[in-house]
Amino acid sequence: MKIRRIKKIEKRPTPSCCPPLSSCCPPAAAPPATLEKPPCCGPPATTHGGVITEKVPGFLRWMPTSEGGRVAQIASELTLSDHLGACKARWGIGRMHYLVPPGLYAIGTPDAEAPVLVTANYKMSYDILRSTLRGRNLWLLVLETFGVNVWCAAGKGTFGTGELLTQIKATNLAGIVNHRQLILPILGAPGVAAHTVKKESGFNVRYGTIRAADLPVYLDNGQVTTPSMRELTFTLYERLVLLPVEIVHAVKSAAIITLLLFLLGFFSSGSTAASQMIFAYLGALYTGIVVGPLLLPWLPGRSFAVKGASVGLLWALICYQLVGADWNIPQTLAAFLALPAVSAFYTLNFTGCTTYTSPNGVKKEMRLAMPLMGMAILSSAVLLAVGQWLVMKG
């Protein structure tokens, strides 16, 4: 599904996975060395890339340069360990520590005329870039983003003007290459003031492509960005690969809620009722986390909460057909209020992964949707109590 074509970079919204820069977020122009902690929702301050050594992923050898000292030459072939690490990160395992040291790397055997590409020190970005550029000779300048990907780091300010200038100076890039051109990913544009980089370092900033897969064609065609390279998509597969981390994030709270539902159902109505409550809740949870995001383009409305509520309502109907034969009217109404609310909550939570929501839009939707969800859950609790009272009375 094609979502947006980026024509004017300066008008792109800040990615929705990060809040707008605020008092807790440093300005993009501040070098990370001045930060006491990474901004806002980033990892702990101790989670930084460190210093480039022979232990960096893909290290082959040290390559001497005329004025910049030695640079780590890295392989383009990914190992089984790299693939397993990416899989673990997709499932949220060690995600905030999945990073490489910032600095300058060599892919192939670049010379002073070789292009310089810039990326974040999130290891998945690093791996995708070096594997995509297999067989080429170029420099890879990695910024310290505390293990956050380019788009979110640009919104937070770590993939920003200050850090870019810091790495240019720290690596003596001006002494290593003869040209004065940097190629940045388009999604890094919100964090970088190109005119400031030019003024302070003499390097010109060019925005290449959205996807790393387009870089070979971009480089071979004189660094010309075609319309398709500016096209931001959010296909079924792109949504699918984001689901594991959403599931993992929900496990802890889901386990607590499941236990509470079991105890409530067991002591009020027995094991059968407890099992039904857990079945209904977990179904609504996974409907909101999995079904809602996968069917996102086809669900009614623009609001993620409405989309989630619609699949939650469908689950409530299925659940009623499966286990609701003995429900009385208050219990049935409770299910049709609570289950869509649960699904709506988890689908709304998916906005942080999407490519077409903005921080202002998300905040507005939360102000409207969260109270309604709370009212639905509270009303369902009252109805369940009434339904149980009727059962006991009857």
> What tokens appear for 361 in the block?
């839009």
**Boundaries of every domain in the chain:** 2-232, 238-393
pLDDT digits (tens, 9 = 90+) for 154-203: 888 899 999 999 999 999 999 999 999 999 999 999 999 999 999 999 99
Strand order in the sheet with 70-74: 59-64, 70-74, 103-107, 138-143, 116-120, 181-184, 204-207
323-343: average pLDDT: 93
Report the candidate in 325, 315, 309 with the shortest Cα–Cα distance to residue 281: 315
Backbone CA torsion sign across 233, 239, 244, 246: positive
**Do 126 and 137 form a contact (C-beta atoms < 8 A)?**
no
pLDDT digits (tens, 9 = 90+) for 107-165: 999 999 999 999 999 999 999 999 999 999 999 999 999 999 998 888 888 999 999 99
Q: What is the mean pLDDT of the chain?
A: 86
b/e per residue 4-25 (b: at least 16 CB within 10 A) = eebeebeebebbbbbbebeeeb
CATH of domain 2-232: 3.40.50.11600
User: Residue 13 above 70 pLDDT?
Assistant: no
